[in-house]
Structure 1
Amino acid sequence: MLRPLLRATYVALLLHRTRTAAQDAASTCQQIASAISDASAVFYNPDPSYLADIAHYATSSTDESVCSVEPGTAEDVGTILSILDSSQTPFGVKGGGHASNPNFSSSTGVQISMYRLNRIDYDSSTGTVAVGAGNVWDNVYSALEPYGVNVVGGRVSGIGVAGFTLGGGYSWLTNQYGLALDSVRGFELVLPNGTVTDVTESAYPDLFWGLKGGYNNYGIVTTFTLQAYPQGQVWGGQLIILGEYIDQVNVATANFAANVTDPKAQIIATYDYEEGALLAAVMLFYDAPSQPAGIFDEFLAIPALSANISTRSFLSLVQVEPTTTSESMRGFSNTVPFEEITLPLLETIVAQLEYWGAALSNSSAALLSYDVEPFLPSILTHGGPSAYPWTRDQRFLPFNMGFFWTDAQYDGDFYEAIVESSRNLTDTAVQEGQTQVPSAPLYPNYALFGTPVGSMYGESLAEMTMLKQTYDPQNVMGLTGGWKVTG
């Protein structure tokens, strides 16, 4: 333990470094403001634009940056990156702000918000759509609806285009067309040296591969060119089911996962624990105005507290389940890559939910959520090689665990709990014969901070590291957060 004099000296030094870092970042903010075009802007606390720029889905993911900057052009993004590099100022890059890992898209230095890069341009001659990195999927679906087309995007309201796509992207359309990254036809990328580059499979095959799952390791993507597909009305919505019927939900979910082979049919079975109560929220989806008889009958036969099922637009279905939490909620997510969804596994999930819900209720007001997401075994056949997943020989299922609470002093408790619960579910899967689960690729968009990068990228990691050495030798992107590949 430090002696009192040494402790005082240490604290004084730490405060000095903090003040110096803030002063350096303030100087960087001024340089950026002087260098960018009128299409962009810099904001400071308490400007409403600043507050919106730093805000995240979970308050534990929000940092108070010295300033925020909203670039309006790719060229301005290049200018900003060059200044951040020369000043070595930490920064965050925020698309939709849904990242639940602290410091992944936020910073105490400079917060870059992609909000102004919001173009959505459909080209009927190529069947593609150019989507700015500042969009959320709601905007994209709304803009494409008049054309009768859609893209592979988020399943609930409020999800950002950029992080979702760069991390993989499991969609209501994944059974039919693959992951979101499988539908990317091109990236407008600002390289770490500030150069704006159009990355396609033919022009930059190495970068094209690395950006599919590699996040911001190689620069900042400003526009995605996505393949569009025909889209009409869909059938579906949400069932809210009380805990007394959870056994029926388990059976229906296990049967759906094992037996339904129609690629137009999907579900998400969410198990929630809040204030001592267990609930299931089941989303049903069929990509047509009506569902064929038999596919969802087991779910529809369960008594529901509420039901919101109808023929509707794709956007309407997505907006059934908003992703907003209360302004005071903190949150972590984690994942286990299951091979299959089975009844014993679902029973263990419910048991884990009830155990940790009760154990953590004394620490802080909490909501625990476990999302079961069955997909067909064929989903990875729709696309080519990508950094994630590093193997396409077998698909693994992107099970999501979400823990939310209010009091920051219990961050450690909730972190340890979500790690332990994921470990318990991994053990359960192995015990029932899912032996590849411990070494399977983790879905980066769900994985908890502190997870080894190799757990997501596996055999891709060596090639990703070479790309890093080639395109970011000065490690400019190391100044920002996320799943970092070191060169």
Structure 2
Amino acid sequence: MLSLALATSLFLGPVWSHLSVRATPSFEDVCHQIQGAISNASAVYWLGSTLYNKGVEHYMTSSEQDSACVVEPGTAEDVGAVLKIVGSNRTPFAVKGGGHTGNPGYSSTEGIQIAMFRFSEVTYDESAQTATIGTGLIWDNVYEALAPHNVNVVGGRVTGVGVGGFTLGGGYSWLTNQYGLTVDTLTSFELVKTDGTIVTVTDSSDADLFWALKGGLNNYGIVTRFTLKTFPQGQVWGGLITYTASHLEDVAAAVAKFSANVTDPKAAIITASNFLLTQPGVSQLLFYDGPTPPDGIFNDFLDIPHFTEDVDTRDFISLVQASPANLTAGQRSVGIFATVPVPTLSANVINAMFNETVFWGHKLQLDSGTFISYDIEHFLPSILTHNTSPSAWPPTRDTAYIPQFIYYAWLFEFEDEKFYDAIRQSSAQIANVAKQEGQKGVDDAPPYPNYAIFDTPVELIYGDSLPRMRSIKATVDPDNVMGLAGGIKI
């Protein structure tokens, strides 16, 4: 027996030694490798610490996971060091900015959670009329920093939305009717490639990569800073009005009239048809980029008897923070987003969204549904004409599809599939209404990446852009390191 054991050990010893060298390190081992490689400008946090919790927390509980550790890089060089380590070890990772995604696993992981909070720069260049903005910020921070300069950027419309994912996905803003999507106002990116190199990407330095990053999400590396065009910003008019169930038809009619008749690019609305606490109702956001709107634009909304009203001349940041975006955040709900892009926000589509609110609100409250919301959004058909430089998304600028938004929240994860199926059915119903009235291109319309549910085909989102995007990725990230991260993968 002794001889056999000795012989076996002699035979297997080199094999086990060889295997141990090639064994995949644990996530915790990779965390320690990162901790030893980064500078004092960065930090690693472990389960149990407050900053770990901050790093993994998301807007919805279903979008977060307990990672092996949280890495907060403080320099682009340290981002590069992290990318090289996770890439060489083939370790799953995630990149989180504001954490406002609706999809599970898009900016969370059981591997290495990269939290971008330390990239919090807002630098205004008056001579260039641009602002350089860190990707760890939320738009509230950006607006507050730019307010003393009386300028603004094309950013998020509601409080709490992160800069990074929002911008890389396209970006619809209160200012979009005037200036286009957020990607249309980008002048440069600071990008950390997966080999650790740091590059400033502009249209003149690398036109292909610049194009791909505009709407290409996290497929090409980690963006640490954006430089955006700025625009003059004074006081605005608007805010939030809420209506009870008895006035749904009146609000629907007001939205339809606004959509059909208002062409002033300074005017915008978001009509959130909600089902909350067993009742339907409406949260109506009004916006005008000026201290006083022209007479009559918003009268139909103001004349409807309301439950609450907070509409006035105010600072831009006050308008953004008047929104009910974080209405369910305190509940720590499970949730999901979906979208229906339509060419025209018609009365039939508007009424369908109100009807879907009531139908699915009543039905899903019998399960654990806590919040059923349909955001009716209106943009002018000219929004895609403000940019002379194309972008990966949207893949076509022939038609400005309007991204109608759906959001469901519920309590228990075991009911996930029930709510996913419901939101898919509801999306299909709204799309069918648009098709039945003769709207063209609904089936092929590219969904807004930041609203799209997780199983949306990437071919539908990016359309004709996809072959070029994949070719650029093969050059920039040949080992597909960014494929180890969550999100829409090309």
Displacement of 1:139: 0.3
Q: State how 1:278-317 maps to structure 2 within 5 Å.
A: 278-317=280-319
Give 3-state SS (helix, strand or coil) of 1:437's partner. Answer: coil
Partner amino acid for 1:28? V
Partner of 1:116, secondary structure, is coil
Provide the residue aligned with 1:15 in structure 2. Answer: none
Task: Look up the equivalent residue of 1:428 and give its one-letter code.
Answer: V
Percent identity for Structure 1 against Structure 2:
50
Partners of 2:335 and 2:454 lie apart in 1 by 12
Deviant stretches of 4+, over 6 Å: none
2:24, 2:89 within 8 Å by CA — same for their partners in 1? Answer: no
Between Structure 1 and Structure 2, how many residues are aligned? Answer: 466
Selected match of 2:175 from 173, 176, 179: 173
The match for 1:366 among 359, 363, 370 is: 370
Q: Secondary structure at the match of 2:384?
A: helix
1:376 aligns with 2:377: no
What TM-score results when the alignment is normalised by the length of structure 1?
Answer: 0.94
Does 1:45 find its partner at 2:50? no
* SS of match in other structure, 1:256: helix
> Hey, what does 2:4 align to over in structure 1?
none
**Matches of 2:51 and 2:176 in 1, distance apart?**
35
The aligned residue for residue 122 of structure 1 is 124
Judge conservation of contact 1:22–1:66 (CA < 8 Å) in 2: no
Q: Which has the larger radius of gyration?
A: 2
SS of aligned partner of 2:443: helix
Q: Distance in 2 between matches of 1:346 and 1:124?
A: 42
Given candidates 215, 232, 235, the residue that maps to 1:233 is 235
Match of 1:461 among 460, 463, 466: 466
Superposition RMSD in Å: 1.2
Matched residues in 2 for 1:34 and 1:181: separation?
A: 36
**Separation of aligned partners in 1, 2:24 and 2:420:** 29
Equivalent residue letter for 1:328 = R
Distance 1:191 1:310 in 2: 46
- AA aligned to 1:353 is T
1:193 aligned partner: 195
2:442 and 2:239 map into 1 onto residues whose CA distance is 31
**Structure 1 unmatched ranges of 5 or more:** 1-20
1:22 Cα offset (Å): 10
Corresponding residue to 2:411 among 403, 406, 412? 406
CA contact (8 A) 1:158 1:322 kept: no
Q: In the TM superposition, what is the alpha-carbon distance from 1:342 to its structure 2 partner?
A: 1.6
The residue aligned with 2:256 is: 254
1:474 aligns with 2:479: yes
> Who is 1:332 aligned against?
336
Per the alignment, in what secondary structure is the counterpart of residue 50 of structure 1? helix
- CA drift of 1:365 comes to 3.8
Shift of residue 322 of structure 1? 4.5
Which whole-Å CA distance do the structure 2 matches of 1:351 and 1:157 have between them?
27
Deviations 1:204-256 (A, max 9, x none): 10010000000010000000001000000000001101111111111110111
1:429 maps to what in 2? 434
| The one of 337, 347, 350 aligned to 1:346 | 350
Sort the Cα spacing of 1:393 and 1:263 in 2 relative to 1 into closer, same or farther, 3 A.
same
Listed one character per residue, the Cα deviations across residues 171-213 of structure 1 (whole Å, up to 9, x for unaligned) are 0000000000111100000011111000000001001000000
**What is the TM-score normalised by the length of structure 2?**
0.94
Instruction: After superposition, give the CA deviation of every residue in 1:103-154 in whole Å (9 maximum; x if it has no partner).
Output: 1000000000000010101011111111001000000000000000000000
> Do 1:218 and 1:472's aligned partners in 2 also have CA atoms closer than 8 Å?
yes
Contact 1:22-1:109 at 8 Å conserved across structures: no
Is 1:71 the equivalent of 2:73? yes
Contact 1:50-1:68 at 8 Å conserved across structures = yes
User: How many angstroms apart in 2 are the aligned matches of 1:345 and 1:398?
Assistant: 12
**Structure 1, residues 338-377: CA drift from partner, whole Å, max 9, x if none?**
1111222222111111111111111114210000111011
